[in-house]
Structure 1
């Protein structure tokens, strides 16, 4: 049994699901697939319009999941019109961490805190290198892997997988068993990571396919 996690580092609902991912890792293998929500043509400079669009969603995510959002994010990053939201560099960092140390999901969690709590620009290479070092990844090995990973190909494959399993956005969780894929609706478990882990360990699970209710759209935060 494998839990596939189709995510984006700039998706607020993925940040809301962060404790569920961590809890699930104690029960079964979790494989991350970066979806590129704000990659390529969907990358977006911070603007008043973007801020006004995402803030109500972020407030709802905080209320629904209990995940903290910092003032450095709301009043710092979301007011910094020189910043650009681009999913590709942080996905590359996650792939690099996975490649050199099997710690991609750990770095993803650190990136989410950096973005949503500390208000850091996680599309900037210097920030990514510092955060990788912050979790004790070897700097030179990380930097070499970061520059070598095939991020665009990974995003293309992740989106193809999302379409194959019938997912509608980020995050999408999919259980794989004996070549069969079952979508997992995480809505009942948001804010309840231990209950989610217990459900996974006890059910392993028999659930009809469903579509996650709480999710970011696949093509970003278009006002």
Structure 2
């Protein structure tokens, strides 16, 4: 197992990545996971919350909930998505995940906490103070985390996102989430759509894949592209 790596190309504001959250937490019991934050909502794709944004994302979020069983809270639908002072920006939460990975190899754990904060609790995970509070809530020492987080903000996160986009092209992924299993320098793109909502079954299937008893698959159509979920970024 030590020679095998599961590459996970994600975005913290990708609804399908939130839908896949239980699968990744099951997968980490089978193989090591390397995180690649893709920067879906960065630069010109940053979005201020507006009625148009809310109307656009809600049908997709409800579809994700139906397919995956993941909960979406009223604090998100009726709170955050009506907070017109909020901005959706993938860079700060990606920097937080990088800091968590650097400090304690807990990037995936913090990512899961951020996803719940966003989609269930309706919290503004692009705000630095929210990110620091969430990291502290799962046991990170506040000063050490803040130092690492600030180090990753800016150029380091930008470079990481660029590298993640290169990984996406390298493994043949189309958007987020993309999962690719690396074994001996060979990459197998995984279709997780049959396993959404079935984390234990996914972990069992992944174990068989690592053992070489299953075939490679095509990427899932249930994903967010590099500009946003279910289509181009909203103007």
TM-score bin (small chain)? over 0.9
- Counterparts of residues 64-83 of structure 1 (less than 5 Å): 64-83=67-86
Unpaired runs of 5+ residues, structure 1, are none
Q: Which runs of 4+ in 1 moved over 4 A?
A: none
Is 1:125 the counterpart of 2:125? The answer is no
1:16–1:190 Cα contact (<8 Å) kept: yes
Per the alignment, residue 44 of structure 1 pairs with 47
Per the alignment, residue 209 of structure 2 pairs with 203
> What is the distance in 2 between the residues matched to 1:212 and 1:151?
27
Cα displacement (A) at 1:202: 2.2
Is 1:16 the counterpart of 2:16? The answer is no
Per the alignment, residue 212 of structure 1 pairs with 220
RMSD between superposed Cα atoms in Å? 0.9
> What is the distance in 1 between the residues matched to 2:193 and 2:14?
15
**Which whole-Å deviations, capped at 9, do the CAs of 1:52-85 have from their partners, x for residues lacking one?**
1100000000010000000000000001111000
**Which whole-Å deviations, capped at 9, do the CAs of 1:19-62 have from their partners, x for residues lacking one?**
00000001110111000000111101001111111000000000
> What is the distance in 2 between the residues matched to 1:85 and 1:207?
38
Is 1:157 the counterpart of 2:160? The answer is no
1:194 counterpart (162, 178, 200)? 200
> What is the distance in 1 between the residues matched to 2:203 and 2:216?
18
Is 1:95 the counterpart of 2:109? The answer is no
> What is the distance in 2 between the residues matched to 1:162 and 1:203?
21
The number of residue pairs the alignment matches comes to: 223
Which of 198-207 and 90-99 deviates more? 198-207
1:168–1:217 Cα contact (<8 Å) kept: yes
Q: Equivalent residue of 1:3, what SS?
A: strand
Is 1:183 the counterpart of 2:185? The answer is no
Cα displacement (A) at 1:165: 1.1
Cα displacement (A) at 1:209: 4.2
> What is the distance in 1 between the residues matched to 2:148 and 2:95?
9
1:184–1:207 Cα contact (<8 Å) kept: no
> What is the distance in 1 between the residues matched to 2:215 and 2:92?
35
Cα displacement (A) at 1:219: 1.1
**Which whole-Å deviations, capped at 9, do the CAs of 1:137-187 have from their partners, x for residues lacking one?**
011111111011210000000001101111000000000000011100000
Per the alignment, residue 8 of structure 2 pairs with 5
